[in-house]
A and B are shown apart, each in its own frame.
Chain A
Amino acid sequence: MFARIAEALDSRFKFKDDFKKNVLDHPVPPRVNFTFCFGGITFLLYILLAVTGITMLFFYVPSVDHAFTTVEYITFDLPAGNLVRAIHHWSANLMIVFIFVHMLRVYVYGAYKNPRELNWITGVLLFGIVLGFGFTGYLLPWDQKAYWATRVGVLMPESLPLVGSFVTKFLMGGDNIGALTLSRFFALHVAVLPIITAVFLVGHFLMIRKLGIARPL
């Protein structure tokens, strides 16, 4: 049945040819090696984070009354909940690692140079956004580690000249870390940052499709 549906769609849209031409038979420069995979692995981790994150969104409640309870529920009561949360946790950690080695590879190969400067710039912005994901996501379990780590983090901008104290208060949503901090970190983590990331990712990918990957050394 699936074969017939696929055939019917293919006879109209010819997506098999497109898939072959743009994915399987896409030409790349000679002597490309496995280090060219790090960007793709980072994107794979982003997909895993989105899937597991949306799954936990079915259960997590971003209020100081229920955040910790619902995280406990996901971890200990929900079937496969611990697995979902663990995949989210490890993908998040590995994403930082793979962004770093991806950047290192691009730097060593000089792949950031003309005409690919904008790829590097969007990449650095994406790295900053991912760190933002890490910072905002760390508070959500609302346990002791989350609270105190966030306290350290939000107090850092306070030493900025002129705007410092406002930035800190903006992050906390007031004078202390509480209900407003948790809800704004949640909003940033599940809505604002994912949208910004998607926009920059599309740019990052379209530019590399247009320019092709840089020739290996």
Chain B
Amino acid sequence: MSDNEMSRRKFLVAGIGVISGTIALGVGGAALTSIGAPAVTNKREGKWVEACNCADLKPGEFNQLSITYDAKDGWLDGKIKQLVYVKMNGEEILALSATCAHLGCNVNYDEQTGGFKCPCHSGAYDATGKNISGPPPRPLARLEAKVEDGKLKINTAIKEA
């Protein structure tokens, strides 16, 4: 009798545990999925953006270009404007993001050195975008670029750091 009583009690306690556990896992799982999802789904995707006509570019030196493209930010359909420095040597194209690797100011072309200087904290880069002095921890980001039908197209995804 007492054995039966015990097993019934144990069964009920286990039942409570299973039911509460199921509810907690179900709702908690759904909640955590939602809250965690943007970390992997809210991506800034690279896309090809038309920057300018190649004929407008001065060959062999840095041209400052501003590209604007649509970017989805969560529930917002926004636009991102980005400054890019492009140097074309025949087939070879070097496209550098103007965003400073330190805190994200736009860097300026420095005519004296042929490199770039950040107005915010005097970070300096050479003509290949390599960080040479000041606070920047890494070079300017390189962007993929190509020429199609006489137009320069730039991919907004960062190619290499």
Chain A residues with CB under 8 Å of chain B are 24, 44, 48, 51-52, 54-56, 58-59, 66, 69-70, 72-74, 77-81, 83-84, 87
Evaluate contact between B35 and A73: CB separation under 8 angstroms.
Answer: no
Give A52 to B37 CA distance when docked, in angstroms.
Answer: 15
Interface size class of B (residues with CB under 8 A): 10 to 19
Q: Is B30 an interface residue (CB 8 A)?
A: yes
Give A52 to B27 CA distance when docked, in angstroms.
Answer: 8
Please give the distance in Å from A53's CB to the nearest CB on chain B: 10
Given contacts A24-B13, A80-B30, contact A55 B75 (CB under 8 A): no
Evaluate contact between A78 and B34: CB separation under 8 angstroms.
Answer: yes
0/1 interface trace, chain B 64-76, chain A, CB 8 Å (1 if under): 0000000000111
Which chain B residues (101-149) contact chain A, with CB distance < 8 Å?
A: none
Evaluate contact between B23 and A80: CB separation under 8 angstroms.
Answer: no
Chain B residues with CB under 8 Å of chain A are 13, 23, 27-31, 33-35, 37-38, 41, 74-76
Q: What are 22 A-B contacts with C-beta separation under 8 Å?
A: A51-B28, A51-B31, A52-B27, A52-B31, A55-B30, A55-B31, A55-B34, A55-B35, A58-B35, A59-B74, A59-B75, A66-B75, A69-B75, A72-B75, A73-B74, A78-B34, A79-B33, A80-B29, A80-B33, A80-B37, A81-B34, A84-B30
Give which listed residue, A24, A48, A66, A80, contacts B34 with CB less than 8 A.
Answer: A80
Given contacts A44-B23, A73-B75, A79-B41, contact A84 B13 (CB under 8 A): no
CB nearest neighbor in B for A79:
B37
CB nearest neighbor in B for A77:
B75
Give A204 to B33 CA distance when docked, in angstroms.
Answer: 34
Evaluate contact between A84 and B34: CB separation under 8 angstroms.
Answer: yes
Q: Which chain A residues border B75 with CB–CB below 8 Å?
A: 59, 66, 69-70, 72-73, 77
Q: Which chain B residues border A48 with CB–CB below 8 Å?
A: 23, 27
CB nearest neighbor in B for A83:
B30
Q: Which chain A residues border B76 with CB–CB below 8 Å?
A: 69
Give A81 to B32 CA distance when docked, in angstroms.
Answer: 10
Q: Which chain A residues border B37 with CB–CB below 8 Å?
A: 78-80
Q: Which chain B residues border A69 with CB–CB below 8 Å?
A: 75-76
Beyond the given A55-B31, A59-B75, could you list 9 further A-B residue pairs with CB under 8 A, ordered by the A residue number?
Answer: A58-B35, A78-B37, A78-B38, A79-B37, A80-B33, A80-B37, A81-B34, A83-B30, A84-B30
Give A56 to B30 CA distance when docked, in angstroms.
Answer: 11
Q: Which chain A residues border B35 with CB–CB below 8 Å?
A: 55, 58
Please give the distance in Å from A45's CB to the nearest CB on chain B: 11
Q: Which 10 A-B pairs have the closest CB atoms?
A: A73-B75, A80-B33, A79-B37, A55-B31, A80-B30, A83-B30, A80-B34, A69-B75, A81-B34, A84-B30
CB nearest neighbor in A for B20:
A44
Give A84 to B36 CA distance when docked, in angstroms.
Answer: 13
Give A56 to B75 CA distance when docked, in angstroms.
Answer: 13
CB nearest neighbor in A for B29:
A80
Give A79 to B33 CA distance when docked, in angstroms.
Answer: 7
Please give the distance in Å from B36's CB to the nearest CB on chain A: 9
Given contacts A73-B74, A73-B75, A77-B75, contact A87 B27 (CB under 8 A): yes
Given contacts A70-B75, A73-B75, A77-B75, contact A51 B27 (CB under 8 A): yes
CB nearest neighbor in B for A48:
B27
Q: Which chain B residues border A84 with CB–CB below 8 Å?
A: 30-31, 34
Give A52 to B23 CA distance when docked, in angstroms.
Answer: 12
Give A44 to B24 CA distance when docked, in angstroms.
Answer: 11
